[in-house]
Chains A and B, each alone.
Chain A
C-alpha cells in the first residue's frame, strides 16, 4: 500500500517536472532581444551634460534619423556601417573622454549594442548608454 503511494507520488512528481526540464532544454539558446545593461553603464541627460566638453555623444540610430536631427556635435556610429564609421569616431576619441551612446528611445537596443562593441571590441573605458535615448534628450532640450 505504502510503496504504491510512493510510486504514484514519484510518477506525479516526474510528470510535473517534465515540462519544466523540457522547456529549459528546448529554450537553452533563447536570448533576450535586448542586451543586458548594468545601472553603472547608464547615464542620464543631466549627468552627461554635467560632463561638459569631456563627452563624445554617439548617435547609434540609422543614417536617415541622424541626418534628420541629432545632439549637437554627435558622431554617427551605427552597426549598418560600423567598419566605415568607427575610424571617424576613434579620430575624435582620446583617453579620459567619456562616451555617451544614444538611440531613439528607452525601448531601442542599438545604443546598447554600440556601447557593448566599443567596450568589448575596441576596449574603450567610460562608455555609457543614455537613459531614455534621443526622446529623453529632446524633453530636456
Chain B
C-alpha cells in the first residue's frame, strides 16, 4: 500500500514537472510616453520553465489601436522571448488601459491576459473645446479655460483663429491657467473657426472650435 502511494505521488510530481509552462516576468505594464510620442511600446517577457515546447494559438489586442506580436510561434523547453504590444496614441488623452489576450496549448493556464496601462501626459487641458452661438444670438464673448497639466510649466500661450469671423483675447490668470475669450463678429451666417492654442516653447498644438450653428431642431 505504501509503495502504491509513493508511486502515485511520484507520477504526479513527474507529470507536473514535465508539463510546459510559460512564466511571465510581468503581466501588467505601465508606460509613460512623452507628449510628442506617437506610440507606447510594452515588452512582456516570458520563459518556458516546463520540459515540453509551448505553442501560441492566438494573440489578440482589445482594440484596433493596439497591435501585439510574438517573436515566434513555438517556445522550446527552457526558451524565452517576449510579446511586443504597441499602442498607437493618436489623439487619445489621459489613462488608457488596453489588454492583449494570449492563448497557448499549455495543459493549464491556456489563456493569459496582458495589461498595458499608458499614462498620456496632457500639457494643456481645455474646458470646453467647443463654443457655439445659435444664429441670431447676441454675439457676446464665450470663455474657454486653459490649464497646464500637473507636470508642466506653461507661462504663455498663443491663440490663433483660422477665421477672421471670430476674435480671441487671452488673459493669463497665473498658476498655469489662462482664459480665452472668443467673440464672433456677428451671428447672422453659419461660420466656424478652428482655434489653435500653442504653449510657448512647445511643438504641441491644441485645438478648439468656435461655431455659429443652425437654430435648434424642432422635436
Contacts and interface: CB of A to CB of B under 8 A. Distances in A.
A87 B213 contact: no
Interface in B82-103: 88, 90-93, 95, 97-99
Contact of B128 (A79, A82, A109, A122): A122
B95 A31 contact: yes
Contacts of B126: 121
| Interface bracket on A | 20 to 34
Contacts of A87: 192, 194, 207, 209
Interface string B178-219: 000000000000001010000000000001010101111111
Contacts, number: 82
Given A87-B194, A121-B126, A80 B65 contact: yes
A97 B214 CA distance: 11
B69 interface: no
Interface of A: 31-33, 54, 61-62, 65, 78-84, 86-87, 90-91, 93-97, 108-110, 113, 117, 121-124
| 4 shortest interchain CB distances as A-B pairs | A82-B91, A80-B90, A96-B217, A96-B216
20 contacts: A62-B65, A79-B65, A79-B92, A80-B88, A80-B91, A82-B90, A84-B91, A86-B129, A90-B192, A90-B209, A93-B213, A94-B213, A94-B216, A95-B213, A95-B217, A96-B218, A110-B64, A117-B93, A121-B126, A122-B129
Interface of B: 62-65, 88, 90-93, 95, 97-99, 115, 126-130, 132, 134, 192, 194, 207, 209, 211, 213-219
